[in-house]
Amino acid sequence: GTSLYQLHPFCNKMSCPVLPTGLGEDYWSMEDILAGQERIPCKIEQTLYRLGFLSTHSGEEHLVPGTKMEVPLWLARSLCTRKRQVISVSLPKSYREGMRVALSADANVVNLYRNGPYYYSVGVSLLNFDLPEKGDLAKCLLEAFVKRFRGIMDSSQNAYQLDLTQLTSNLDEMERYLFTQGQQALNKQIQWEQGKGQKIKTSSLVEGSRKRKRDT
């Protein structure tokens, strides 16, 4: 069956600006940079000397094992790997069981943007960590995407010259991109039906073939 990981190459072929990250992020992508700023709950597993100032609660000179804090996703990727576990990571509230239950019940009514503008991107990145819930999270993200996708494309095809604020307010950035693509396809279709599209021209290869036949 299809896994959420397979969405990554699929979206790449669409030149999607916001992709599920964690499988080789684009260094120059502003979307990847912004998604990487998401704060991730973690626990310190090794003493980090003279970095106590990073925790606003401890007041200690050093970060000692057991200290709980939040770090950006990009930093968590470096500090929590199979070979190097300076910190251990847990799921942010937006990806825990309560949110997964809400998405399973009716994914279409959930405001993903409020839970993170790069909800899918961050969610797939979290699957790279050794978390006990990652199987449930992967299934939830994929099912939510599939359920919401049809509604997004239906809306994009039936919202010609309408205010799109309400239609897109609960979509995350990847969903908004897909909505925009649907809108652009609709506009091109309408232009073509009204005769405003580009005129079909004879291929240069055909023109060249005809010219060669006339010359012989």
Which amino acid appears at position 56 of this protein? Answer: T
Report pLDDT for 215.
Answer: 66
- Give pLDDT, residue 158: 82
Distance CA 23, CA 8 (A): 8
The predicted pLDDT at position 12 comes to 43
**pLDDT value for 132:** 94
pLDDT of residue 19: 43
Give the model's pLDDT for residue 117: 93
Dist CA 108 CA 170 (whole Å): 9
The one-letter amino acid code at 165 reads T
- Confidence (pLDDT) at 213: 67
pLDDT for res 22: 38
What local confidence, expressed as pLDDT, does residue 211 receive?
Answer: 67
Q: Are strands 68-72 and 87-89 parallel, antiparallel or unpaired?
A: unpaired
> Which of the 8 DSSP states describes residue 72?
E
Q: Strand ranges (DSSP E) for 86-200?
A: 87-89
Tens place of pLDDT per residue across the chain (216 aa)? 444 444 444 344 444 444 444 344 677 778 888 889 999 999 999 999 999 888 877 778 899 999 999 999 999 999 999 888 999 999 999 999 999 999 999 999 999 999 999 999 999 999 999 999 999 999 999 999 999 999 999 888 887 666 778 789 999 999 999 998 888 888 888 888 888 766 667 777 777 776 666 666
CA 181, 184, 189, 190 dihedral sign is positive
Residue 16: what pLDDT?
Answer: 45
* Residue whose pair of structure tokens reads 């609709």 in the numeric block: 186
Give me the pLDDT at residue 25, please: 62
